Amino acid sequence: MAVVNVKDLVVKYGTSIAVDHISFSAEPGEVVGLLGPNGAGKTTTIETLEGYKKPTSGLVEILGLNPITDKTKLMPKIGVMLQQGGLYPRMKVRQALHLFASYYKNPLDPDKLLQKVGLEQASGNIWRKLSGGEKQRLSLALALIGRPSVAFLDEPTAGVDPNGRLTIRQIIRELKEEGVCILLTTHELEEAERLSNRIIIIDKGHIIASGTPAELMTSGQGEEILFGAPSGLDTVSLSKELSAPVEEQRPGEYKVHSSASPQTIAALTSWLAKNNLPLADLRAGRETLEDVFLRLTTETNPTENTTSDRNNK
Amino acid sequence: MKAFLAQTKTEISLILNGESILLAVGIPIILLVGLSIFHLFPISFVVPGIISLALMSTAMTNLAILTSFERSYGFLKRLGATPLGRPSLLGAKTLSVVVVEIIQIIVIMAIGIALGWNPHIDPISAILATLLSIIAFTGLGFLLAGTMSQYLVLSIANGLYVILALLSDMVFPIKSLPSLFRNILSFLPSTALANAFHDSLSYGRSVPSSIWLILIVWAIILPFLAAKTFKWE
């Protein structure tokens, strides 16, 4: 049974449409990643589910409850991690956890949770003085302290160091095991790919693709081989060698429109060897999620997205 | 209820902390001791005036500054997604103001008596004046905190505190000022509060109905404006 249910959701700010007829649902134990460029409508969608924003039209239900009219019933059952901030500037880490624990009937043990998110060292520090990564760890802990059935995590690993990311990802996996339904937004493609059962790609308020990471990555346009090598290769000569069209998509990144048969791969590598060229990477058959993302968001918005998304990565 | 009380306790600990405690207790005590040691004004004037100053600092200045920083740091927003909820948060803040003010009143009265103050207390009028001032000044505090950036609130709340302290019969008798100016100042909630305390704590007089009227009007207008304009984010 779906615990998150969104049907035909539309959210407008004045005349501009932030979310335009989005529908999806999520089950217990499922991690759904909302992915999209900045301003795509991810945060608006999630904040509507959290009861901060009123849908202009459409249906939003969490655990069968309306986030606005059933707020008092719903709040004890959800956990929220906002994109930024969310605490008293002068409050100490341990104090914050104990305070939030007091809001819930059956909270987790604040001290154990502190250990789990790796904040024991910082437990006496005040919020204002925490690093970006420590703030994220604390926000995650505060989202989980009430044992939520549904957790909304808005960019949970933004600004977190690699170690912290591992911790946060591990915690998300454990929640999934325990049957918590998790909605997370990110523009970290790798993260969405690693954590999510299902990915929903949003751009300009629309869902432009959705599915499991595997489904999305094999939904590319036919078969192809992607490889990285020095820029400016003689693609014409290579095309002849492989009897398949070759194009340089971005400087140093090439696409061969051919099935990834062992023969073709062998021909490609021997051509490189003959010309004494190094091979940076080689991928066959599957697109990475990044390829899917860039292809889809660039199709709808050819000028802006490519550069900004690459910078966000 | 457990959440509400825990929240109130936290709010109290935040007021009685760092710069806030200086404003809540430090400055009033320094002024009280200073004004009485140098015999600048009669102690019967000084003690009620300093109590009103202390109450104003808690309900208006401290509340406005703390709340505006919490708003800018996203804490008010975050609480909207907890079982406590935001109306209870504001309730807890108001209750914390009441508790801190009781502490302030007791401390200042005790020091006043030690310095030779001879109280004539009309408890009903004093309590009523305290309650009306809490409603009016927390209203003003939330009005500032809910509409402006934290840095603007920081300067306005502190500036207003100094101006009202000097012009409201709190630390400095305004009876030496020109009567027109004095009449205008008497409409301030701070002046009405100070005068209500002078009458009901020191002079053993009944508080004039004009003062009650002024306090009641402010206690309606300020919370109303705050409720109309408050923005959580």
Residue A219 has what pLDDT?
A: 58
Do A103 and A74 have their domain in common?
A: yes
Do A192 and A112 have their domain in common?
A: yes
Residue A19 has what pLDDT?
A: 93
Report the alpha-carbon distance of residue B83 to residue A70 in Å, rounded. 12
Do A152 and A109 have their domain in common?
A: yes
Alpha carbon of B127: minimum distance to chain A alpha carbons (Å): 31
Residue B17 contacts A, CB cutoff 8 Å:
yes
In a domain, A300, yes or no: no
Total number of domains constituting chain A: 2
Sequence spans of domains, chain B: 2-229
What chain B residue is nearest to A83 in terms of C-alpha separation?
Answer: B74
Report the alpha-carbon distance of residue A116 to residue A131 in Å, rounded. 18
Residue A286 has what pLDDT?
A: 60
Question: A163: which residues sit within 8 A by CB, 6+ positions away?
Answer: A118
Domain boundary among A190, A215, A240: A215
Q: Which of B3, B70, B85 sits opposite A102 (nearest CB)?
A: B3
Look at A75 and B85 and tell me if their CB atoms are within 8 Å.
Answer: yes
Q: Which of A51, A78, A86 sits opposite B75 (nearest CB)?
A: A86
Do A176 and A280 have their domain in common?
A: no
Do A268 and A146 have their domain in common?
A: no
Nearest Cα to Cα of residue A24 among A195, A41, B131, A271: A41
Do A254 and A236 have their domain in common?
A: yes
Q: Which of B10, B69, B77 sits opposite A82 (nearest CB)?
A: B77
Report the alpha-carbon distance of residue B233 to residue B212 in Å, rounded. 35
In a domain, A312, yes or no: no
Residue A312 has what pLDDT?
A: 41
Mean pLDDT calculated for residue range B223-230 = 92
Do A126 and A75 have their domain in common?
A: yes
CATH number where A17 lies:
3.40.50.300
pLDDT band at A192 (very low <50, low <70, confident <90, very high): confident
Q: Which of residues 26-85 of B touch A (CB under 8 A)?
A: 69-70, 73-75, 77-78, 80-85
Do A236 and A278 have their domain in common?
A: yes
Q: Which of B3, B73, B85 sits opposite A85 (nearest CB)?
A: B73
Nearest Cα to Cα of residue A34 among A16, A50, A23, A46: A46
In a domain, A232, yes or no: yes
Do A35 and A154 have their domain in common?
A: yes
Do A124 and A146 have their domain in common?
A: yes
What angle separates helix B2-15 from helix A93-102, to the nearest 10 degrees? 150
Instruction: Indicate the DSSP class of residue A26.
Output: E
Q: How many CB pairs under 8 A join A and B?
A: 72
Look at A86 and B77 and tell me if their CB atoms are within 8 Å.
Answer: yes
Residue B11 contacts A, CB cutoff 8 Å:
no
Alpha carbon of B75: minimum distance to chain A alpha carbons (Å): 4
Residue B151 contacts A, CB cutoff 8 Å:
no
What chain A residue is nearest to B4 in terms of C-alpha separation?
Answer: A103
Look at A51 and B81 and tell me if their CB atoms are within 8 Å.
Answer: yes
Amino acid of residue B66 = L
Look at A75 and B69 and tell me if their CB atoms are within 8 Å.
Answer: no
Do A187 and A228 have their domain in common?
A: no
Contact by Cβ (8 Å): A254, A227: yes
Tens of pLDDT along A200-215? 999 889 998 888 887 8
Expressed in angstroms, the distance from the first to the final Cα of chain B is: 26
Report the alpha-carbon distance of residue A234 to residue A292 in Å, rounded. 27
Instruction: Indicate the DSSP class of residue A129.
Output: G
In a domain, A189, yes or no: yes
Report the alpha-carbon distance of residue A99 to residue B3 in Å, rounded. 8
DSSP SS3 for A182: strand
DSSP SS3 for A184: strand
In a domain, A70, yes or no: yes
In a domain, A294, yes or no: no
In a domain, A192, yes or no: yes
What chain A residue is nearest to B1 in terms of C-alpha separation?
Answer: A103
| In the block, residue with structure tokens 């790796």 | A118
Residue B163: is its pLDDT beyond 90? yes
Do A102 and A130 have their domain in common?
A: yes
Per DSSP, helices labelled H in chain A are: 42-49, 71-74, 93-102, 110-116, 132-144, 162-177, 189-195, 213-218, 235-242, 262-274, 289-300, 305-312
Contact by Cβ (8 Å): A290, A250: no
Tens of pLDDT along A53-68? 999 999 999 999 999 9
Nearest Cα to Cα of residue A209 among A310, A279, A293, A272: A293
The range of the structural domain enclosing residue A255 comes to 221-284
Tens of pLDDT along A240-277? 888 889 989 888 889 888 877 778 888 888 999 998 99
DSSP SS3 for B121: coil
Look at B10 and A91 and tell me if their CB atoms are within 8 Å.
Answer: yes
Residue B6 contacts A, CB cutoff 8 Å:
yes
Alpha carbon of A185: minimum distance to chain B alpha carbons (Å): 17
Report the alpha-carbon distance of residue A199 to residue A189 in Å, rounded. 10
CATH number where A264 lies:
3.30.70
Q: What is the mean pLDDT of chain B?
A: 92
Q: Which residues of B touch A89 (CB under 8 A)?
A: 69-70, 73, 75
Residue B14 contacts A, CB cutoff 8 Å:
yes
Q: What angle do CA A105, A176, A168 make, to 5 degrees?
A: 85
Nearest Cα to Cα of residue A116 among A142, A79, A148: A142
